[in-house]
Amino acid sequence: MADSKPAVDGEPMDMEALLQSVFGIVIDEAIQKGTSASEKVCEWKEPEELKQLLDLELQSQGESQEQILERCRAVIRYSVKTGHPRFFNQLFSGLDPHALAGRIITESLNTSQYTYEIAPVFVLMEEEVLKKLRALVGWSSGDGVFCPGGSVSNMYAMNLARYQRYPDCKQRGLRALPPLALFTSKECHYSINKGAAFLGLGTDSVRVVKADERGKMIPEDLERQIFQAEAEGSVPFLVSATSGTTVLGAFDPLDAIADVCQRHGLWFHVDAAWGGSVLLSQMHRHLLDGIQRADSVAWNPHKLLAAGLQCSALLLRDTSNLLKRCHGSQASYLFQQDKFYDVALDTGDKVVQCGRRVDCLKLWLMWKAQGGQGLEQRIDQAFALARYLVEEIKKREGFELVMEPEFVNVCFWFVPPSLRGKQERPDYTKRLAQVAPVLKERMVKEGSMMIGYQPHGTRANFFRMVVANPALTHADIDFLLDELERLGQDL
C-alpha cells in the first residue's frame, strides 16, 4: 500500500527531516527576521506579481522536498510580519514564544475539543483557563467556551440571551416569538449587526444607543431607547456594552449600564474582546468596573495578550448548564451516554460547531511561563508606552491627538507641512483625509511599518496607533513618529 513517489507517507525519518528543515526556516525567516526592527515588516507586491512569484496553481504532479522548502520560504517572505516591532496595524501584534510553542504543540496533536476521550488534557485545561478568566471577571462559578473569534462569542451571547428568555425559540424559531430588540452603542463592533442578521433577528432589531464624544455609551440614552422599543411593540432582551471599542478604545460605563439592565430584566453582555485583558492589571482594571454584573463576557486573549489567533473566550455567569441546553443536540455517535467515564466531560455539545480547535493551550502555556504578574506587567507597560506616545505627540509639530486616550489606542492626525496652520481653509478636512492613505501606501511599499487609519463620524481619516506588542520600546514609538514625518515631509 506504499505511495509510489519517494514521499513521506508512513516514513517517519523523512517526516522528521522535512519538519526539521521547516522548523529551521521558521526560526530564521519568521521568528528572527520577522521580529527584527532592521528587517521589513512587509515586502509589498502587487497582486498580479505576487501570484506569479508564488506560483499558486495546484497541479497533478507533486514536487520535490527542495521545491517545497523554497515554497515555505516564499510564503514567509511575502507575508506581513505581525510580530514585527513596527506592525501597529491591528488589535493583535507581537510574537510570544510560549504562546507560539503552545500553538505548535496544538497543531502537532491535531485533535478536536469535543470529548474527554480524544482531548483529555484540553478538556481539563480549557475549564481551568476559563475558570481563571472568570475569576478575573469576578465570578467564582460559571461556564464558558472558547469560540472561533470574538464575533462568534458575541453571537453566542445573543443566542443564549434569547434562549433564556424564550426557550421555545430553539424548536419553534423566531416566528413564534414577539419582535425582539437589543441595544448597543454606535461605537460597538460590527459583529453585533452581523450577528443580528445571522441569527435571524435582523439588523433592525439592533437599537443604536448614543455615545459621548469619548465613545462611551450614554446610559440615559440606553434607557430612553428601551422605553421607545417597548412603546413600538418590541421586547428588549439584551444589552451589549463594549469594553475597549475598536477605534477609540473606549470603555462603556458598565455599572450604570448594569443598573439599567437590572431595572429592565435584560441580559447584560460585555464585548470585552479588546479590553478584557485589562482585568489583569490592578492599576487599570477599574476601567471595567461593573463587569462582574454581566451575564456574559467576550474576551479575546489573542489581542492584547498576544496568545495568537484565535483565542476568544465567551464567559458566562450561568450555572444552570444554559450553554448545553441552548446548543446541545445529543448526537449519539459522539456523545454516547454509556461511556466508561463521566460524560459531563464531553463538552462538545455546548457549542454550535462539531469539531472545535484547541484554543486553550497557547494561553495556558504563556500564562505558566509569564505568570499573572508577567502578563500584568505587559498590560501596564502597554499603557505606559501609550502615554509616552501621547506626550511625544503633544511635543511635535504636525501631530494632533484626536482625543486623550484611556486605553492603548492612540488616535491622531499627522498634519503635513502644507496643511499646518490652514485649519480655516474650506478644503482643509478634505485634504487632511487624503494624507493617511498616501502615507499608508508609502510605508507599506517601503515596508518600514504598518499602522491603520480610518474616518470616524465627522472626523477625517486619522491614524489609530495600537500599543499591543509586548516587545515595543520607546525607540519603536519614536520611530513611528519620525517615520510619519519622513514619509509626509513633501505633502
Percentage helix, strand, coil, to 5, in the chain? Answer: 45, 15, 40
Of 258 and 467, the one with the shorter C-beta distance to a copy of itself is 467
**Beta carbon of residue 239, minimum distance to a copy of itself (angstroms, whole number):** 18
Nearest residue (CB) to a copy of itself, 58 versus 231: 58
Rounded to the nearest whole angstrom, what is the least distance from the CB of residue 396 to a copy of itself in the complex? 20
Select 176 or 283, whichever has its Cβ closest to a copy of itself.
176
**Complex with a copy of itself: residue 138 or 179, whichever CB lies closer:** 179
Nearer to a copy of itself, 15 or 220 (CB): 15
Phi, psi of 241 (to 5 degrees): -90, 160
Determine contact, residues 389/410, Cβ cutoff 8 Å.
Answer: yes
Compute the least distance from the CB of residue 206 to a copy of itself, in Å.
10
**Which DSSP symbol is given to 31?**
I
Task: Please give the Cα distance from 87 to 93 (Å, whole number).
Answer: 7
For residues 460 and 458, give the distance between their C-alpha atoms in angstroms, rounded to a whole number. Answer: 6
Q: Find the shortest distance in angstroms from Cβ 240 to a copy of itself.
A: 15
CB of 477 to a copy of itself, least distance (A): 10
Of 225 and 300, CB closest to a copy of itself: 300
- Nearest approach, Cβ of residue 192 and a copy of itself (Å): 10
Phi, psi (deg, nearest 5) at residue 144: 160, 175
Smallest distance, Å, CB 220 to a copy of itself? 27
Q: Pick the closer one to a copy of itself by CB: 211 or 258.
A: 211
SS (H, E, C) 137-204: HCCCCCEEEEECCHHHHHHHHHHHHHHHHCCHHHHHCHHHCCCEEEEEECCCCCHHHHHHHHCCCCHH
Shortest Å, Cβ 253 to a copy of itself: 23
Task: Supply the minimum distance, in Å, between the C-beta of residue 448 and a copy of itself.
Answer: 15
- Three-state DSSP class for 10? coil
Rounded distance between C-alpha atoms, residue 485 and residue 491, angstroms: 10
Contacts by 262-267, CB closer than 8 A, 24 or more apart: 262/293, 263/223, 264/223, 264/226, 264/236, 266/183, 266/226, 266/236, 266/237, 266/238, 266/239, 267/157, 267/160, 267/161, 267/164, 267/165, 267/237, 267/238, 267/239, 267/295, 267/296
Pick 33 or 264: Cβ nearer a copy of itself: 33
Question: How far is residue 404's CA from residue 248's CA, in Å, rounded to a whole number?
Answer: 10
Residue with smaller CB distance to a copy of itself, 204 or 230 = 204
Beta carbons within 8 Å of 424's beta carbon, 6+ residues apart:
none
